[in-house]
Structure 1
Amino acid sequence: MIENVTKFTNQLDAAARLLEILPKKELVERKTLIICPSFDSVILVDEIARELNLSYEMLFCENISAPNNAECDIASVSETEEIVINDELVRAFGISYDFIYGEAHRKYEEILKQIYKFRKGEQIKSLQSRNVLLIDEGCETGLTAMICVKTLIKLGAKTISYATPLIAADVAVSLGDLVDEIYTTQKIVNFIDVDSYYDEKIPVTNELIMSILLDSPKYLPLQKEQGEEDAI
């Protein structure tokens, strides 16, 4: 049973409500770069980026599932080959680290294909001295957020803030130690899964994602407008 929380109609509704609590003026003045950590979050991120007139970039990462349970993520790897592992689950399931690193290599090959398709084969640029806002459509376990934060630190980000419409309360506590600020409309104690808190999510397909990125003036790798103040 879902606890007493406010559900979102879809990703655009979630974006509108997240915009209500974001420090818009501060983000713009700091020329913040928005980071999108997943294809599922593109609709949300693109809407917020347009409203704030800020550029955004994809940070490609892939989660690694337990060998006998595709629904249970035990680790994550990013495009810079950073890895975050849920050691507690790994020990509980008796999973070997050789398995994890083998899967990480396989997943990295998939990430390279994404980079080629959605960033014209270019590696993500250095974020040295950049203020970054990582935005996700929801945060259940924090695994994706943590691999992104680890990668953003490696890339030299000056500050890292995290924004999501909804987040598991315990994850908010642990993630709060890693980022400068967390912006969320709801911290949920008995978190079920992200989709449970959306009434009618807009279906995410490769065609839709490509269309959004190609048409968006805010997606940094494919920006049509040159010389924007917030571009790297």
Structure 2
Amino acid sequence: MTMFDDRTDAGEQLAAHLERRGLEADIVLGIPRGALPVARPVADALDADLDVVVARKMGAPRNPELAIGAVASDGSVWHNDALIDRLGVSEDYLEEVRTKEAENAREKATRYRDGAELPSLEGKRVVVVDDGVATGATAMACLRQVRDADAAFVALAVPVGSPRSIDDLEAEADEVIALETPPSFRAVGQFYQTFGQVSDEEAIDYLQTEP
């Protein structure tokens, strides 16, 4: 069920769709690392600046791959309350992992911007882009950071996403645009012909490419 050749193809298809919708943006924020090849064509098509918004998954005790939430570089946090309750995760653990991952997110954001701060989002129209949405945890934290920064309009745009996660994310954004929400969704990579890892260096290159 491949839909996209690679992330650049997905970004070009997403950009064309957003143009047809007449979506306007002052700034496009990609979620590193995999979103940057998708976000570059979107920013170019919308004649918007491109930057990053960074969040880190908060892993469960003894199972770090299981997301019990996510935290953005400014400390904005989203918790999967149902999962936290089911696993009996303590408040102390939540605070410990939140603090650690928020610092990791800050360090990554600083590295991507070469020490600069995120431009002011106050009153801006912001489009957050990812290469796809599985659990939606990191996207949720990123949207909260943008909302907390007093953006006037916040949209999430992705090539593909889990129908359930896309529904959940609609509560966090003014608009959520997904080209495809297949009922057979299992993982983002199943919808790409090529879905290799994107290195930090490659991702940063997309930020430095002028339209």
Fold-level similarity (TM above 0.5): yes
For 1:17, the equivalent position in structure 2 comes to: 13
Q: Does 1:187 align with 2:184?
A: no
**C-alpha distance after superposition, 1:124-150 (max 9, x if no partner):** 232111011111110111212211121
C-alpha distance in 1 between matches for 2:105 and 2:69: 15
Residue of structure 1 aligned with 2:128, choices 129, 134, 145: 134
> Displacement of 1:202 after TM fit?
4.4
Other structure's SS at 1:188 match: coil
Other structure's SS at 2:22 match: helix
For 2:149, the equivalent position in structure 1 comes to: 155
| Structure 1 unaligned blocks of 5 or more | 219-232
C-alpha distance in 2 between matches for 1:116 and 1:35: 14
- How well do the aligned residues superpose, as a CA RMSD in angstroms? 1.9
TM-score w.r.t. length of structure 2: 0.90
1:1-232, aligned counterparts within 5 Å?
5-23=1-19, 26-27=22-23, 30-214=24-208, 216-217=209-210
C-alpha distance in 2 between matches for 1:25 and 1:164: 14
C-alpha distance in 2 between matches for 1:71 and 1:31: 34
Aligned AA (1:156): D
> Displacement of 1:47 after TM fit?
2.4
Other structure's SS at 1:40 match: coil
Over 3 Å counting, the alpha-carbon distance change for 1:14 and 1:86 in structure 2 is: same
**C-alpha distance after superposition, 1:79-133 (max 9, x if no partner):** 1111111011111112212112101111122223223322132332321110111
Please say if residues 170 and 189 of structure 1, whose CA atoms lie closer than 8 Å, have aligned partners that are also in contact.
no
Aligned AA (2:174): D
C-alpha distance in 1 between matches for 2:155 and 2:204: 26
Please say if residues 75 and 100 of structure 1, whose CA atoms lie closer than 8 Å, have aligned partners that are also in contact.
no
Aligned AA (1:87): D
Segment of structure 1 superposing worse, 111-120 or 33-42: 111-120
Aligned AA (1:148): C
C-alpha distance in 1 between matches for 2:9 and 2:187: 18
Over 3 Å counting, the alpha-carbon distance change for 1:25 and 1:55 in structure 2 is: farther
C-alpha distance in 2 between matches for 1:31 and 1:177: 20
C-alpha distance in 1 between matches for 2:21 and 2:194: 31
TM-score w.r.t. length of structure 1: 0.83
- Give the greater-gyration-radius structure (CA): 1
Please say if residues 166 and 187 of structure 1, whose CA atoms lie closer than 8 Å, have aligned partners that are also in contact.
yes
Over 3 Å counting, the alpha-carbon distance change for 1:35 and 1:73 in structure 2 is: same
C-alpha distance in 1 between matches for 2:187 and 2:49: 29
Please say if residues 30 and 129 of structure 2, whose CA atoms lie closer than 8 Å, have aligned partners that are also in contact.
yes
Matched residues, percent identical?
22
